[in-house]
Amino acid sequence: MSSSYTVQLTESKGSSAWKPSAILNTADNGATITTGANEAENLRQIQKAGRQLDNLGLKQVDLLGENWSLERQWAFHKGFMDTRSTNQVNWANHDAEALARLQQLADVSNWTRELINLPPNAIYPESLAQRVIEKLSAVAGDAINATIIKGDELLEQGWIGIHSVGRASQKDPVMLVLDYNPSGDASAPTAAALVGKGITFDSGGYSIKSSEGMLAMKCDMGGAATVAGAMALAIQAGLQKRVQLILCCAENLIDGSAYKLGDILTYKNGLTVEIVNTDAEGRLVLADGLLKAGEIGAELIIDAATLTGAAQVAVGNEYNALFSVDDELATQSLQFAAEHNELLWRLPLQNWHKKNCPSAFADTANSRPQKGGGAGGASNAAGFLLNFAPRDGQGWLHFDIAAAYHNQANAMYAAGATAHGIRTIAQHLLTI
C-alpha cells in the first residue's frame, strides 16, 4: 500500500461493485467521494466520508483534484479530524490565499477543540485565562493587553455572579478582560466585546447533577473557548478594529461556602436575583460579563455559552441557537452562518422574556424551579440575560451553542468539541 492515501471527488458512481447509494468508495491507496447537484448535501456527505475514513484508522490523507473548493476541503477536515486532533489533511493544490485560510481555520479550530476537550484537572479558571492570553498574544503580539481579576477582587469590584458561582472551589474564580487594540491608541473606541461562559467544571452546585450528566461538564467552558477562537481567527484574517474579550470563569462546586438556593445576589446595575437553581449558573456569570461590556461601551456585544439543555432539545446537536431582540443584527448573523456553513437557528426572544423567571423576593429569579427551567427554558435564560444587556439589547447577540460538544462520536464529528460557531462570530468582527 502506498504511504500516501489520496481522496478525490467524482460525480460518477464508480465501480459496479458498490451499491448505487454508496457515497464513499475505498481502495488500497485511495478513496473517491461521489458528489451530486445539491451542494449543501455534498458538504454533509463529504464530512461524513471524512468521519468514515477516520473510523477506518487512517491518520493522514492527501486531497487531490480540481473539485475541492475551500468549503469542501473544510467539510472533509471537520469529519476526518479525530478527538485529539492528531490526524492530518494535506490540502488540495489551490491558490496561496485559500491554502492560508484553510490552515488558519485548522489551527484555530484544533486549538479551540483541544481547549474544550482538556480534562478539568488541567483546565480551571486561571489556567483557562492564561491559555487564552498565550494563544492570542502569539497571534496578535503587542496589540494584546490582558487583565485578570480573581478571587475576592471580583467581590471588591462588584462582580457578584462570577464570585458567587466560583467561591466554593479551591481554584479562584476569574474574569479575564483581554484588549486587542491594533491602533495602540488608548482612546480608540471598542468596536465589539465578546463575552464567554467559562465554567471549567459544573457539578450543578447544590442542585447537583447526576453522575452521567456531570461527566461531560468539562465542556461548560465551551463558550469561552468559542469566542476566544473566533477572535483569534478574525485577527489572523486582518481584523483592524479594537475588540475586547471578557471571559467569565469559575468552577461550580460544593462546600460550606457555596452559594445556595434562596440566596439573593445584587448586581452592579442594582438588579436583585434570587437563586432557585444553582445549576443555572452560566447566566449568573454572563450577567457580569454583559455589564462589563456595557462599561467598556462596545457597539457590538456577542456572548456564547453552553447555557441550556433546552436549546439542545429545540435545535438538536447540529445547530447552535441564536437569540436577539435586534432583528437586523440577528438576520446578519444568520446570513454569516449560512455563508460559512455553520448551522444556526433563531429562537424566540422578546422583551417580556425578561420577566419570565419571577421571584416574590427579588427583581427576578435565575430560572424557574422546574426541570429544565420549564417551557421555553432557553428563551427564558436569554430573557434573564437581556436584563443585563446594554441599550435594551440593541447590538447584542446571544449564542446558546448546542452544537459545541458531542458526548459521543456521530456520523459528522468525533467525540468531544466541534468548534462550531467560530467562523460566524469571527465574520461579525470582520464586518464591524
Q: Return the C-alpha cell found at 314.
A: 429545540
Is residue 283 part of the annotated active site? The answer reads: yes
What gap in Å lies between CA 381 and CA 276, rounded to an integer? Answer: 13
Q: Write 293-296 long-range contacts (CB < 8 A, 24+).
A: 293/193, 293/195, 293/244, 293/246, 293/390, 294/388, 294/389, 294/390, 296/190, 296/193, 296/244
How far is 147 from 136, CA to CA, in rounded Å?
A: 13
Q: What is the pTM of this model?
A: 0.96
Q: Degrees (nearest 5) of the Cα angle 427, 431, 432? A: 120
Provide the CA 371 distance to its chain's centre, in angstroms. 24
**Which residues, including other chains, have CB under 8 Å from residue 134's CB and lie 6 or more apart?**
none
Task: Determine which one of 13, 209, 268, 346 is catalytic.
Answer: 209
Residue pair 302/196 in contact by the 8 Å Cβ criterion:
no
**Euclidean distance between CA atoms 413 and 84, whole angstroms:** 12
pLDDT score, position 373: 83
The one-character DSSP state at 95 is: -
Residue carrying C-alpha cell 485577527: 235
Query: Please, how many CA atoms are within 13 Å of residue 43, restricted to the half-sphere of its CB?
Result: 16
Strands 192-202 and 144-150: unpaired
What is the enclosing helix (H) or strand (E) of 338? helix 327-339
DSSP state of 209: P
pLDDT score at 402: 95
Residue 30 parent element (H or E): strand 30-34
CA 332, CA 320: separation in Å to the nearest integer?
15
Radius of gyration, alpha carbons of the chain: 22
Q: State which amino acid sits at residue 292.
A: K
Are the beta carbons of 247 and 115 closer than 8 angstroms? no
pLDDT one digit per residue (tens) for the chain, 432 residues: 456 899 999 987 655 566 777 789 998 889 999 999 999 999 999 999 999 999 999 999 999 999 999 999 999 999 999 999 999 999 998 789 999 999 999 999 999 999 999 999 999 999 999 999 999 999 999 999 999 999 999 999 999 999 999 999 999 999 999 999 999 999 999 999 999 999 999 999 999 999 999 999 999 999 999 999 999 999 999 999 999 999 999 999 999 999 999 999 999 999 999 999 999 999 999 999 999 999 999 999 999 999 999 999 999 999 999 999 999 999 999 999 999 999 999 999 999 999 999 999 999 999 998 877 889 999 999 999 999 999 999 999 999 999 999 999 999 999 999 999 999 999 999 999
423 catalytically annotated: no
Q: Where are the beta strands (DSSP E) in 287-382?
A: 300-305, 320-323, 344-346, 364-365
CA distance 281 to 173: 13
> Which of 373, 202, 182, 404 is closest to 304 using CA atoms?
404
Domain ranges of the chain: 6-94, 113-430
- The residue count of the chain comes to 432
SS3 category, 428: helix
The dihedrals phi and psi of 52, each to the nearest 5 degrees, come to: -65, -40
The SS3 assignment for 7 reads strand
What is each CA distance from 330 to 63, 99, 223, 232, 324, in whole angstroms?
36, 31, 18, 22, 6
3-class state of residue 335 by DSSP = helix
Strand order from edge to edge, sheet including 320-323: 144-150, 174-180, 243-252, 192-202, 300-305, 396-400, 320-323, 344-346
End-to-end Cα spacing for the chain: 51
Homologous superfamily in CATH for domain 113-430 = Zn peptidases (3.40.630.10)
Burial of 287 from C-beta contacts in 10 A (0-12 / 13-18 / 19+): buried
Catalytically annotated residue among 48, 241, 283, 423: 283
Amino acid, single-letter form, for residue 404: A
